[in-house]
Amino acid sequence: MKLSHVATDGSVTMVDVSGKSVTSRFARAQALVRMNAAARTAIRDATLAKGDAFVAAQIAGILAAKQTGVLIPLAHPLPLTSVDVGFEWRADGVLAIEASARTDARTGVEMEALMAATIAALTIYDMTKALDRGITIESIRLLEKTGGKT
């Protein structure tokens, strides 16, 4: 199988998408954050010394999606039409972070959705690490991708 970012001489290359059609594209990604009860309570009650973790993580995730083309060396900068970051507490106490991104472009937005979910999770970690040194960020994954050929 040929890798799209590797040239025939073995060097890396940014994929040429000029021949692709502009289509509406969507991607949804998830990251899971596992933390202790004290950290969960502080987030739920908005009593963290650093402020509202959900608001900070939403903003961080959106900003991260907008910077994907700068941070991922071979990613194309995309004109994002929408980025959303949401949170849901699972029954096992794990915080599920879901991020989505939309664009009308020649290439997909899965990296933007993954970046948003990841940076939102890291922001939650940063804001709660004083309450739990054992926080883990787990299972960062693409949940859905639409638009384009594949």
Alpha helices in the chain (DSSP H): 37-44, 53-66, 68-71, 110-128
Burial category of 48 from C-beta neighbours within 10 Å (exposed 0-12, middle 13-18, buried 19 and up): middle
CA within 13 Å, CB half, 107: 17
Strands 80-89 and 95-105: antiparallel
126 is catalytic: yes
Choose, from 45, 84, 126, 132, the residue flagged as catalytic. Answer: 126
Residues annotated as part of the active site: 126
